[in-house]
């Protein structure tokens, strides 16, 4: 996915990825310079839109709890197959599933 920087995007500095902030001023940086400096953190809604654009559906998204695991699980179904991902946050789970969907669409082995 190509990031087209907009005011209000959630971003993380590439040098210190744990530092998350919201883009409120470009500081005169061009879009390519912003992409070189920051990592874009898309919202769940933005990722779901990407899933829809690819004519896939969010088949399942929810919390999975057992005595051995605690995670969010996401299942996406598309015409090229089904992908499943799990992570400690819902946003990360959807992101991993979208990543795997993009790989499946390219014909790349997911695992």
Q: What is the pLDDT of residues 33-51, one digit of tens each?
A: 999 999 999 999 999 999 9
- The number of folded domains in the chain is 2
pLDDT of residue 1: 76
Question: Three-class SS of residue 91?
Answer: helix
- Helix 90-105 × helix 44-53 angle, to 10°: 20
Number of neighbouring beta carbons within 10 Å of residue 76:
24
56 & 99 share domain: yes
pLDDT of residue 111: 57
Torsion sign, CA atoms 7, 13, 19, 25: negative
Domain that holds residue 17: 10-40
Q: Is residue 52 part of a domain?
A: yes
**Full-model pTM:** 0.82
Say whether pLDDT at 108 is over 80: no
pLDDT of residue 109: 64
Q: What is the pLDDT of residues 59-100, one digit of tens each?
A: 999 999 988 889 999 999 999 999 999 999 999 999 999 999
49 & 36 share domain: no
73 & 24 share domain: no
Q: Is residue 63 part of a domain?
A: yes
């Amino acid at each position: 996915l190509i990031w087209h920087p907009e005011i209000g995007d959630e971003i993380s500095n590439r040098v210190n990825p744990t530092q998350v902030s919201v883009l409120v001023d470009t500081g005169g940086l061009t879009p390519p310079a912003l992409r070189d400096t920051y990592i874009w953190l898309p919202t769940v809604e933005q990722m779901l839109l990407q899933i829809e654009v690819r004519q896939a559906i969010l088949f399942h998204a929810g919390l999975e709890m057992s005595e051995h695991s605690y995670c969010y699980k996401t299942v996406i179904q598309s015409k090229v197959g089904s992908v499943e991902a799990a992570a400690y946050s819902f946003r990360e789970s959807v992101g991993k599933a979208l990543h795997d969907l993009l790989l499946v669409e390219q014909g790349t082995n997911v695992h």
